[in-house]
Amino acid sequence: MRLSILLLLALAAPAWAQRVAFFPSDESPQAAYAEGRLVEALAEQGYEVLADRTDYDHLVSLVIHSERLGAEAFQIVPEGRMISVVGGDARGMIYGALALAEAIGNGTPLAEVEAVEESPALEFRGIKFNLPWETYRPSSALTQHTETARDPAYWEAFLDMMVENRFNVVSLWNLHPYTFMVRPTNFPEASPWSEAEQAEWEALYREIFRLAKERALDTYIVHWSIFVSEAFAEAHDVAETNFYPHYYVPGDTTEIVRRYLRESVRQVLEAYPDLDGVGISHGEGMAGMTPLERQRWMDDVLIAGMLEADRPVKLIHRVPFSSGTSSDPGVSGDVEEVTRAAMERLEDRFDGPIWVEMKFNWSHAHSTPELVKVHGGELGDTYFDPLPTNYRIVWQMRNEDFFALRWGVPSFIREHVARNGEAAYVGGYFVGSETYIPALDYFTALDEPVDWRWAFERQWLFYKLWGRLLYDPATPDAVFQAEFDRRYGEAGANLLNALSLASSTQLRLASLYDAMWDFTLYSEGFLALQGDSTRYISVDRLIEQPTMDPDYVSVGEFVATMQSGGSFGADRVTPPILADMLERDGREALRLVDGVDTSGDASLRYEVADVQTWAHLGLHLAEKLRGAVALQTYRLDGAEADHAAAIDHLERALSHWDEVVAITRPLYRDMPLTHYNHGGFEANPDNLFHWALVRDEVARDVEIARRSRPD
């Protein structure tokens, strides 16, 4: 097959093309993949790729040299007509090949390729991917992706993106994966599928894992705890609600459930040799159990099933867990000690370190780079002191804040890694969402050609920034700007800087507005869970809400302190200071894209429009903060000048929202949003979001100000 492709490329090449031959490393799938990606890059630039090593202009050597380089490291060594791509392992060789392909794609001739040597800063660089079947939270925003996520072509593209950006772990999450992956030998009644349907599911998983292994990616299935298939529950009259779509349910600890899950874990690991590991969680599906009972159940069932498999297994162990007997979040020193002791008892029985996953700042990691809390509250130092020997911490950078708009703030990621990624107990990061799946493009409204097919391709910069900066935080902005240049030429010259300035709006809102679990904030929509309802953050809510970042000052605290004659130190970010920052960066972002000609290029139009949208959202927040300060001051001192200022600023805030609507209405569809499940556990059919749909809620701020009177 490879020979026929090369012959076709040679026949199609122009007569003037320089000829390139390959000296492959070996016959492994990873070497074939690395060479194939280079062949594509060379062919796109007009090189003739030879089927043998005779009469070449350039010879590319792909080789693994584990004595010279460490794991995942690579070198590009140009020497005359020969370019050697050397990897410390197969993964490093692929990274080197893709780095060379990137240089070629950016217009660097082979004769001018420069020497490069790179190695990873962090060992674990993962994607959290929630599968749309038996999702954690029922919602049409999630299930709409089912057909896309069952398409192997989608996975080929998604995994290509991962390895290009030097992610090395793909984790697939859902409530109960085993029903889709095996028909358990002793429990065939657990499968709801026909033989043909079961075979289709199994073929899909095998193909995902095969594609991942070809790209040297580690694969995990991650799930919650005591969940079974509905067919199993009905057949044995057990686990009455321990199946999709339920999730906050009691733990069923009967022996038949234990055996079913233990055997399912073992059989899946034995049936899928390309699957590397399993992730576990002591949370949902275990209500009514004490933390110690949950740990003992986990050891007796899921851990036991993994260790019974006759093969090496990797483990992701999620912490912290509920400190009581409910499914509610909570942190506790006692639970931390129990969990640490349980992991240490496992010693080195798993393949490599146990990866201990913690949510950074709960579900809103794109906020402040300071660790304020994890799932449930402030974390103690039990997991860190003394230094662990058989596990490493992996920060979960959950994103429940932006799905439609493009995002890219490289300085935030660099600072985050510098502050949180360099400790000896840290192994790396996850990036991903609970309430969003990057599969089906359900955003794009324009009926014009664009350069993406799937949702993740729209957010190409988000993934490129996180992946490349986790591999090497010193990666310069020029690497990311080069991709804008390649895509858009001179029109893209200012886009990285503009997007970095504009999408900082999201980080600042999430730092200003304290949030917890998934639905408590949706930054790009300025929505938050208030009581049992998800709605626009009103001026009153903004005044009352405490901050996430301890350096930020809430409106309520600021006004009360100023009214009492107090002040704030230079290290504090007060609402007036934040408003000025937002206005400065928003205005500059708009200036940078002013005059960019997007006619005839719909993809560029979306890039520019997203900069403009974030910028106006930032200007909206700036005016809203000024209006909130003036309104709260008026309520306390009764000065009519403050009342007039509040109305004026909130009217200006509304005008910026109207700009957002004008920009996004022709570009974005009304989009299903999981957050509109509100505080409940059931899917809400009335769940469409667009900035235009909440305009009346935004306008209500002006009326709140007009009707306000001094306290």
The per-residue pLDDT for range 672-704, each reduced to its tens digit, is 999 999 988 899 999 999 999 999 999 999 999
Is the domain of 195 the same as that of 293?
Answer: yes
Q: What is the per-residue pLDDT for 24?
A: 77
Q: What is the per-residue pLDDT for 179?
A: 95
Q: What is the per-residue pLDDT for 354?
A: 98
Q: In 3-state terms, what secondary structure has residue 141? A: helix
pTM of the predicted protein model: 0.96
Is the domain of 129 the same as that of 246?
Answer: yes
Is the domain of 460 the same as that of 558?
Answer: no
Q: What is the per-residue pLDDT for 332?
A: 80
Is the domain of 506 the same as that of 636?
Answer: yes
Is the domain of 507 the same as that of 365?
Answer: no
The helix/strand count (H/E) of the chain reads as: 24, 18
Does residue 646 sit within a domain? Answer: yes
Is the domain of 147 the same as that of 37?
Answer: no
Is the domain of 98 the same as that of 242?
Answer: no
Is the domain of 460 the same as that of 506?
Answer: no
State which residues form the domain around 81: 19-118
Rounded Cα gap, residues 366 and 384, in angstroms: 23
Rounded Cα gap, residues 515 and 511, in angstroms: 9
Is the domain of 591 the same as that of 683?
Answer: yes
Is the domain of 167 the same as that of 311?
Answer: yes
Rounded Cα gap, residues 434 and 222, in angstroms: 12
Q: What is the per-residue pLDDT for 632?
A: 98
Q: What is the per-residue pLDDT for 16?
A: 56
Q: Which of 86, 118, 150 is the last residue of a domain?
A: 118
Write out residues in the chain with pLDDT < 70, as ranges: 1-16, 323, 326-329
Does residue 191 sit within a domain? Answer: yes
Q: Confirm if 339 and 479 have CB atoms less than 8 A apart.
A: no
Q: Confirm if 219 and 172 have CB atoms less than 8 A apart.
A: yes
Q: Confirm if 452 and 458 have CB atoms less than 8 A apart.
A: yes
Q: Which of 118, 138, 164 is the last residue of a domain?
A: 118
Does residue 10 sit within a domain? Answer: no
Rounded Cα gap, residues 94 and 85, in angstroms: 9
Rounded Cα gap, residues 644 and 631, in angstroms: 9
Does residue 420 sit within a domain? Answer: yes
The full 3-state SS of 18-72, as one line of letters, equals CEEEEECCCCCHHHHHHHHHHHHHHHHCCCEECCCCCCCCEEEEEEECCCCCCCC
Give 142's contacts (C-beta < 8 A, 6+ positions apart).
130, 132, 135, 435, 436, 437, 674
Give 241's contacts (C-beta < 8 A, 6+ positions apart).
249, 250
Does residue 490 sit within a domain? Answer: no
Does residue 397 sit within a domain? Answer: yes
Instruction: Find the CATH number of the domain harbouring 203.
Output: 3.20.20.80
Is the domain of 470 the same as that of 615?
Answer: no
Look at the chain and report how many structural domains it folds into. Answer: 3
Model confidence over 152-210: pLDDT tens digits? 999 999 999 999 999 999 999 999 999 999 999 999 999 999 999 999 999 999 999 99
Q: In 3-state terms, what secondary structure has residue 554? A: coil
Which residue, 274, 167, 263, is CA-closest to 221?
274
Does residue 2 sit within a domain? Answer: no
Does residue 538 sit within a domain? Answer: yes
Average pLDDT, the chain: 95
Sign of the dihedral through C-alpha 338, 340, 343, 344: negative
Is the domain of 320 the same as that of 464?
Answer: yes
Q: Which of 440, 475, 510 is the last residue of a domain?
A: 475
